[in-house]
Structure formats: C-alpha cells, structure tokens
Amino acid sequence: MTCTEHRRLQELKRYAILDTEPEETFDRITRLTRDLFDTPIALISLADENRQWFKSKQGLHLDEATREGSFCAVALESGHPLVVEDSLLDDRFKNSDIVQGPHKIRFYAGVPLTSPSGHHLGVLCIMDHKPRKLTHDQLANLYDMGRVVIDEIELRSLATFDCLTGLQQRQGFWLKARQELERSKRYDSDLSLILFDIDRFKKVNDSYGHAAGDRVLQQIADICRSQIRAFDTPARFGGEEFTILLPQTEIADAFQIAERIRTSIANMPTYYCNQEISVTTSFGVSSLNTSNVYSVTELLRVADKCLYQAKSKGRNRTVTIAA
C-alpha cells in the first residue's frame, strides 16, 4: 500500500461513514442526480482498501462490489472524471462482470469525491444500460453534484467530531460502536473497549488555566492516535474522559494497549507558555462476550466499573474486567 493510499484510507475512516445506515440526505442527492441526467442508476460509492461500498444507490440492488478493475476504481485512482460512452468498446471494462453480467452496464460517468484535504474518498456516478454521450455542461453539473456530496459528508462529520482534539465525540462513538458490534457478532470476532480519564484534571485547569488544560487534552489525543491502529476508534467521550474502541482485539491485548498509552501520557509532559504540566490517567478495559458482556452499553458499564476501581486503588493504573 502506498503512503498516499494509506493517508486516503485514514481520511475515509476519520469520517466514520463506511457501513452506516442509509441517510435521506444522501438518498436525496442520488435521486436528484438520477433525475437530472435521466439515467436509471445513480450511486455514491466510497472505496476502502478492497471494495466499493454504496452509501446511497438508485436503480442498483447491491450494497457493495469489488473495487479492483471497476469503473469507480479507475475514476478514483486517476483523480479525474471518467466517462465511458459505450463499455463494450472500452478494453478496460468490456469483459467485466457489471458489463457482461445481469446489470449489463453500457454507459458510465463518475466524478471523484475529493475531501478538502485532497483525498479521493469515492465517486458520484451515473450509469445506463445503453450507450450515450455526456456534454461538457452535463459533466460540469455532475461535478457540482459531487461537491454537494462532499459538503454533506463534511457537515455530517462536524456533528460527530470534537473540534478541540479531532477525535470522535460521544455521538460519533455510539454510531461507530453500533457498527463494530454488529460486525463483531456477524464474524464472531473480538471487540474490546478502553475507557480512561485524566487524574485530577480540575487541578490542571485551576493551576494553569483552561487554555493549558485544552493543550493537555490535545496532547493526550495525539498520544492515543500514535498508539493505535487505523481501524481503531478513539473518542473524547466528555470533558476529560476518553474511549477507544478496539475491533478484533482480545482483552489481554487491549490491556497492553491501555498500558502503553497510560505510560506514554505519564512520561510525556505538556509544555504550555514555558510551563511543564505532568498528568496521569486511570484506565478501565472491557471486552465483548466476557462476563456476560454482549452490548455496547454493557461494554461501557463494565469499563466504567474498572475505571472506578483504578481510581480507588490509587490512580495512574489500568484495571480490566478480569482483574
């Protein structure tokens, strides 16, 4: 995987939109796009590492498809609009399943969905079962509709991300947690949760001021990001409290991750206005299917109980459900 692709996937993950429920905002865009261009099919396609997943679709009864060799993959990788007037005359696509199979796609036009930071997240596209042409003005209109999609994705993220730390906030956490819970149950895989907060954080604000406290929160968020994988989900759950959702992670491994973060925070003071500010943190760790934990609510309840035990045992430590 190239560095550019790695950054693109991280950006896509940051938006927390993959595998989410249908949303009327995006369905409205695909309906308008379909009607504007008088095509039977319109899609908002987002591309992760191996597949294209359809956030919204009109006229196509698929939720996802293979990314490799697809129309959308070519548009995505080039970073430019792609127009295929007749797929049977295009050597790149004439033998593909979507052309030769039951969908019999002959016409395709797609524009990349490019984030403000320049990463191509996916494609807004239209398709037809017969060859057709697209004028320059029509392509410009499709590009404008693509910008509307990106604007909606940005607005959606503002509702789920904490502006101070750049982490998911509570609403975004619950959205992602429900997705990961369903995936864990579907594939019978592990799912663990870390819950932690800053010890005596009020004293930091009282002694150094709230701006200094904000800087501490930002540094802790940076440390969390540096210690976890691209598909883990850190969140600022409220105030000085944080959560980290860890898919495909057993509780023993989650404990080790928590300890790495706790140690890093304790050993890395924050510097603000020539002042050194040192803090410690207390952690609780829980895991799905451990001691009758089968829901996100239970994951949080058990992790919170462990966090309370960590506080009562002297702070600056990690307690797991098994402890």
**Domain layout of the chain by residue ranges:** 3-158, 170-320
Q: Do domains 3-158 and 170-320 have the same CATH topology?
A: no
Ranges of the chain with pLDDT below 50? 323
| Burial track 103-136 (b if 16+ CB lie within 10 A, e otherwise) | bebbbbbbbbbbbeeebbbbbbbbbbeeebebee
Q: Regarding the domain with residue range 170-320, which homologous superfamily does it belong to in the CATH classification? A: Reverse transcriptase/Diguanylate cyclase domain (3.30.70.270)
Structure confidence by residue, pLDDT tens digits, 18-46: 888 888 999 999 999 999 999 999 999 99
Is-catalytic flag, 68? no
Q: Which helix (H) or strand (E) holds 27?
A: helix 24-37
Greatest Cα pair distance, the chain, in angstroms, is 72
| pLDDT at residue 180, as a whole number | 86
Domain 3-158 bears CATH identifier 3.30.450.40: yes
| pTM of the full structure | 0.60
State the catalytic residue, choosing from 240, 241, 276, 298.
Answer: 240
CA angle 232, 230, 311 (to 5 degrees): 35
| pLDDT at residue 155, as a whole number | 82
Q: How far is CA 55 from CA 5, 45, 154, 166, 238, in A?
A: 20, 6, 15, 23, 29
